[in-house]
């Protein structure tokens, strides 16, 4: 099959993810092999590829940007009705994920509400201003000082290859064997912070980790 998605934009990727989640019970996005594997897909999804596989060449940062937005879209915030705008902070040494989300800032609605994305290279003084905070893999140790400041305040904390599993809420990681970008869902920490997990979240490639 020709690689019709080689120039897929973030908006297009978000749309594709929504279609896959709707039609599939399992979804994994690959980097090197460049495959979206759709399990238990509806017949309408068969047009995407033979054998439920579509060849995709999607940069890692674009997949992670799409996952951040889709993960957030499949969680229910405490006092969600009071949120007028979802403010997203990307703390990373690389600006790629920030620029991807910034590129859809004016047209993408998260749970029907506008988004505003900001970037920082290091920790900030007022993290409680934000609804979502993403820590790049080289900033994961910030979770130890950041989490106590945001705990119980309805702020979603997403890490990338994080090691502090007790504190992270959602952690992105790469399956080196299959080269899939997946994520871990810390049910306990999310629920302690007032979040409700949507039933479709696992279809994005999530795995629950229950740490007692």
More confident of the two residues 11 and 44: 11
Q: pLDDT tens digits for 161-210?
A: 888 878 889 999 887 776 778 889 999 999 999 999 988 887 666 777 76
Asked if the model's pLDDT at residue 60 lies above 60, the reply is yes
What pLDDT is stored for residue 175 in this prediction? 78
Please check the confidence at residue 88 and state whether its pLDDT lies above 60.
yes
Higher pLDDT, 116 or 18: 116
Domains in the chain, please, with CATH? 10-59 (no CATH), 62-208 (3.40.50.2300)
Number of H helices, E strands in the chain: 5, 13
State the pLDDT at residue 111: 94
- pLDDT tens digits, residue range 24-58? 434 444 443 333 333 333 333 333 333 333 334 67
**pLDDT of the residue at 17:** 60
pLDDT given for residue 140 in this prediction: 85
Higher local confidence (pLDDT), 89 or 210: 89
Residue 15: per-residue pLDDT: 62
**Does the structure show a pLDDT above 80 at 99?**
yes
Please tell me the predicted confidence (pLDDT) of residue 171.
Answer: 93
Q: By C-alpha distance, which of 66, 49, 47, 58 is closest to 5? A: 58
* Buried/exposed code over 131-160 (b: 16+ C-beta within 10 A; e: otherwise): bbbbbbbebbebbeebbeebeeebbbbbbb
What is the per-residue pLDDT across 100-152, written as a single tens digit (0 to 9) for each? 999 999 999 999 999 999 999 887 878 999 999 999 988 988 999 999 999 99
**Looking at residue 45, what is its pLDDT?**
36
The answer to whether the beta carbons of residues 90 and 101 sit under 8 Å apart is yes
What confidence score (pLDDT) does residue 205 get? 63
When comparing pLDDT for 88 and 203, which is higher? 88
Q: What is the pLDDT of residue 13?
A: 64
| Cα distance between the two ends of the chain | 46
């Amino acid at each position: 099959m020709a690689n019709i998605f080689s120039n897929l934009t973030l908006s297009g990727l978000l749309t594709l993810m929504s279609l896959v989640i709707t039609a599939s019970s399992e979804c994994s996005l690959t980097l090197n092999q460049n495959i979206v594997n759709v399990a238990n897909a509806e017949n309408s999804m068969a047009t995407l590829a033979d054998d439920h596989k579509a060849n995709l060449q999607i940069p890692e940062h674009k997949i992670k940007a799409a996952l951040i937005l889709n993960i957030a879209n499949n969680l229910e915030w405490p006092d969600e009705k009071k949120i007028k705008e979802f403010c997203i902070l990307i703390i990373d040494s690389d600006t790629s994920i920030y620029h991807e989300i910034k590129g859809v800032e004016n047209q993408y609605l998260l749970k029907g509400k506008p988004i505003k994305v900001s970037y920082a290279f290091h920790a900030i003084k007022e993290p409680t201003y934000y609804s979502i905070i993403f820590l790049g893999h080289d900033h994961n140790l910030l979770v130890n000082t950041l989490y106590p400041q945001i705990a119980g305040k309805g702020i979603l904390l997403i890490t990338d290859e994080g090691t502090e599993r007790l504190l992270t809420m959602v952690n992105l990681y790469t399956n080196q064997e299959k080269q899939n970008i997946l994520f871990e869902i810390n049910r306990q920490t999310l629920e302690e912070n007032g979040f409700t997990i949507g039933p479709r979240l696992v279809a994005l490639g999530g795995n629950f980790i229950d740490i007692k």
